[in-house]
Structures are given as C-alpha cells and as structure tokens.
Amino acid sequence: MPTSQSDDSVRRIPLELTLEEAFSGLERELSIEQPTRCRTCSGTGRTGRPTRCPQCRGRGRVARDKRASIGRPGSRRCPRCEGSGTVSASQCAICDGDGTRWQETAVSVDVPPGIEDGQGLRVTAGADQQPIAILEVTIEPHERYDRIGTDLSCEHAVTPRQARTGDAIEIETLDGDVQFEVPPGTEAGDRFRFEGKGMPTLDGDERGDLYVTIALEDEPADEPDREGVEGHHTAESANRVSMAPDADVTGPDEAKNRESTTSTEQDGDLAVESDDGDPLANERPADECAPKEADESTLEAYESRIEALESALESTRAEFRAYKDRVETRQKERDKQAAATLLERFAEVREDLERAVETDSDDETGVKEGVELTLRRFDRILEDEGVSRIDPEPGTPVDPHRHEVMHRVEGDQPAGTVNSVYTRGYELDDQVIRPARVSVSEEA
C-alpha cells in the first residue's frame, strides 16, 4: 500500500497556458525536483557508530519539567535522540544532516481540455504514484476573447453598410471560422450567441457558448454610400432635364412666367437671372444636395450612438470589476474566519492526543480507546463542516474526478471497476478535496 502524502507538503509549481492550449489540451514534459531519502545516512542525518544518548541515558524518555508538569505527571520523549536511546557521532556530510536529498524527476503531464485559471494539476511519479507536485494553472489574457467559465465573448466589427443592409460574414472561433448572416438593421452593441462554440468542460461532454457583440467600423470619407451616390445622380439628372430649353414640360401660365427670366449655360453650370438681369444664384437646385446632407447626418448619428455605447460598455465593465473585487474580498474574509474556527477545533483535539501519547501507561486497552475517541472527534468536526468520505466499494465504476488510479491489477471485480481502496478520499459538497486512491481491475 503506498503511503499517503498531503497536498500541503507537496511543491506548488506555476504553469502558464494560452487560451488555445487550455481549449485543446496538451501534453507537457517537465523536470521536477523531489526529496528522496539520503542513502548515506539512511535518512537519519547522522553518520558514524551510534552511541548511547547522554540526555536520556539510553532510555529514550526524559522526565517532564516540574514547572510545566502540574496535573500532567510522567515523562516525555527525549528531544535529542527522538526516543531511540542512541545518537550518531557526526552530521551526514552528503545531506547536511537533513536526511533527504533533492533529485530531478522527468514527468509527462497531460493538461485536459477546458482547464480553468486557478485550478491545480496533481503530478505523481514512481511505482506507488505518490504526488510530487501541484501545478497551479494560470491562463494568459487573450487579445480577442474574454472567458467566464466555459463561455467566451468578443467583438466583431462590420461596416455601417453591412449593418444597414445585412451581409454574409465569417466569425473567427477557437476551432475555425463560422458563417454568419448579419441581419439588416443591425446596430452597434447587438449581441449574438453561437451555441457550442465556447470552451469545453473538463469531462469533455459539453461546450460553452460564444457571444459576439457587433461594433461598427468608421466608413472612409472618400467612399460614400452607393445608395446615396446613385440617389444624388438621379436627382441631378432630373433637375437638368426639367430645366432644358427644349423640354415641353410647362403650361401656359408657366410659359408666361418664363418670359420674365432668361436661362443661359455657362461653363456647364446653370445660371439663373431675374428679369432685371441680376443673377439669382450660380448654384444647383437645393434638392440636388439633399442626399449628401442626409448621408452626413446619418453618419453623425451612428458615430454619436457608437460613442454612447462605448461609454456605457466601459462603465459596465468598471462596475463589474468593482463588484467582482467586493465579492472576492468578502469571500476571502469568510474563508479566513471559517479556517480559523476549524483550526481552533482541531487544535483542541491535537492537544488531547498529545497528552495521551506522552502519558506513561501500560493499559493498552485504555490507550486504544483514547485514540478511537480522538478519531471520532475528528470525524465529528469533518461532518459538521460538510466534509464526507470518498470510500468506494469494490466493483464500483471508476470516477476520474473522485478516484485516483494507483495500479491496475487482475482482480475478481469487473474490468474498469474499483478492486481495492488504498486511502479514502474526502469531498466538501461537490468539490473533491482529495480523491480516493484505488486499484482498478483489468481483464485477465
């Protein structure tokens, strides 16, 4: 049975990923240093011929300090020889008395698709698959996409004409472009949902959505809208025809009025003079300029709307960031308070256990009952905090989220199911604190 190792004692190593790597998953080779027992001193930190401990005189225990033994008579373990009764002559020169040496281990880590920022990956090595490191994942910010859980959001710019009349465009996603028909009359700030185009879940069964917000590009001033240009030319042609000298488009009364004015063509422009010979205007009819003025008015309205939407968007983002910071601060305060309460209860149990261990007693039954009582107090604290055990029965299908497979063996259980449990796991509500370490049956 492999020895268990708490995640608190395992090295934590940062692992930076791009959003694309988190989307598709990857396999990464790492070199991790892990402590191993010093072979020279067998992990004791001392070398040379052992001699009797001078402090406890070989007994392994020393009397308690009288000033601190009121109500707690007896002896305690010798701090110099740690209860062995012997000490080595000198400090180990290989490990500097630490008893351990650091050794690099090459490991291959499978990063699953859908991994999120802040999650950890447990790295195991050796025949017993002991955890040697926790990889703390950090997802780099992306220049196009914002991520919330499994959903992605981005902006896509179209021209004012595409928004006004509609058009077929391509939207970029993490797994390729998709075709999209921009509806006529689309406005800046309109949001469209692309189902199943977000990030995958860790189990790979589902995917989030992609939300695309439409933005309007600035249309170049030297490229006016085609509809406005065509309308402008049409109005100009109609006006020139109606003012042609040989066009019979007037009635008797209008012909009489025409006699009071003379029209002449000068350098291609129409010059209108009054009956006294003074020029009225050397310009085109007013309705000929109307389409251009209308286009400029429409463009100004769009630009004003874009500025208002951008201002509202930035204000919403600022409010969201402030709200997120407040929530995180409150959550940290609640977690800190809950942790302090829990540690206080555990400290009381530990003190009782320490007193029981340090008390000299030949009553093995009493000691055993005291230890069992302490374990029940531990279980009661965990139960009060909502922590439950993960202790699968043999033959239970393997759950990769709640079970950590240590070995595959030929057993009596169906293939792919739990054969035996090495160490139980724990979970808090739906969050796995530590998976159960199990062996799995395989076909003979």
pLDDT in tens, 33-67: 777 788 777 777 777 777 788 888 888 888 765 44
* Paired sense of beta strands 403-409 and 436-441, if any: parallel
Closest CA to 25 of 204, 216, 246, 256: 204
pLDDT score recorded for residue 65: 57
Q: Over the stretch 199-215, which tens digit does the pLDDT of each residue have?
A: 999 887 899 999 999 99
Same domain, yes or no: 192 and 92: no
Please compute, for residue 29, the number of CA atoms within 13 A of its CA located in the half-sphere on the CB side: 1
Same domain, yes or no: 101 and 236: no
Same domain, yes or no: 25 and 129: yes
Distance CA 208, CA 149 (A): 8
Structure tokens at 56: 């406890």
Question: What is the residue whose two structure tokens read 């065509």?
Answer: 230
- Number of domains forming the structure of the chain: 3
Same domain, yes or no: 184 and 230: no
Chain centroid to Cα 373, Å, comes to: 43
Structure tokens at 236: 């100009």
**Is residue 386 assigned to a domain?**
no
β-sheet bridge partners, residue 408: 440
pLDDT score recorded for residue 356: 66
Distance CA 444, CA 190 (A): 60
Same domain, yes or no: 45 and 96: yes
**Is residue 270 assigned to a domain?**
yes
CA separation, residue 377 to residues 72, 260, 381, 382, 425 (Å): 22, 115, 6, 9, 18
pLDDT score recorded for residue 208: 93
Contacts of 57 (CB under 8 A, 6+ apart): none
Distance CA 85, CA 89 (A): 13
Distance CA 195, CA 179 (A): 13
**Is residue 308 assigned to a domain?**
no
CATH code of the domain in which 133 resides? 2.60.260.20
Same domain, yes or no: 193 and 208: yes
Closest CA to 193 of 207, 209, 181, 176: 209
pLDDT score recorded for residue 209: 95
The SS3 call for residue 287 is helix
The residue type of 113 is: P
**Is residue 183 assigned to a domain?**
yes
In terms of residue numbers, what domain contains 260? 226-288
Question: What is the residue whose two structure tokens read 């286009």?
Answer: 295
Closest CA to 263 of 249, 282, 287: 282
Same domain, yes or no: 32 and 159: no
Question: What is the residue whose two structure tokens read 């076909």?
Answer: 443
Q: At residue 420, what are phi and psi to the nearest 5 degrees?
A: -155, 160
β-sheet bridge partners, residue 272: 263, 281
**Is residue 61 assigned to a domain?**
no
Q: At residue 388, what are phi and psi to the nearest 5 degrees?
A: -125, 155
pLDDT score recorded for residue 21: 93
pLDDT score recorded for residue 77: 85
pLDDT score recorded for residue 101: 78
**Is residue 56 assigned to a domain?**
no
Same domain, yes or no: 103 and 133: yes
Q: Are 53 and 30 in contact (CB under 8 A)?
A: no
Same domain, yes or no: 187 and 231: no
pLDDT score recorded for residue 276: 47
**Is residue 105 assigned to a domain?**
yes
Chain centroid to Cα 169, Å, comes to: 30
Distance CA 397, CA 408 (A): 14
Same domain, yes or no: 149 and 117: no
Same domain, yes or no: 173 and 270: no
**Is residue 300 assigned to a domain?**
no
Same domain, yes or no: 130 and 266: no
The b/e string for 237-270 (b: 16+ C-beta within 10 A; e otherwise) is eeeeeeeeeeeeeeeeeeeeeeeeeeeeeeeeeb
Q: Are 395 and 418 in contact (CB under 8 A)?
A: yes
Among 141, 156, 172, where does a domain finish?
141
Per-residue pLDDT 10s for the chain (444 aa) are 333 444 556 788 899 999 999 999 999 888 887 777 887 777 777 777 777 888 888 888 887 654 444 444 567 888 877 788 877 667 777 777 777 877 777 888 899 999 999 898 888 876 667 777 889 999 999 999 999 999 999 999 999 999 999 999 999 999 999 999 999 999 999 999 999 999 999 887 899 999 999 999 986 655 555 444 444 444 444 343 333 334 343 344 443 343 433 333 334 443 434 444 444 444 444 444 455 666 777 888 888 889 888 888 888 888 888 888 888 888 887 777 777 777 777 777 777 777 666 665 566 666 677 777 778 888 888 887 788 889 999 889 988 888 988 888 887 888 889 988 989 888 887 788 889 999 898 875
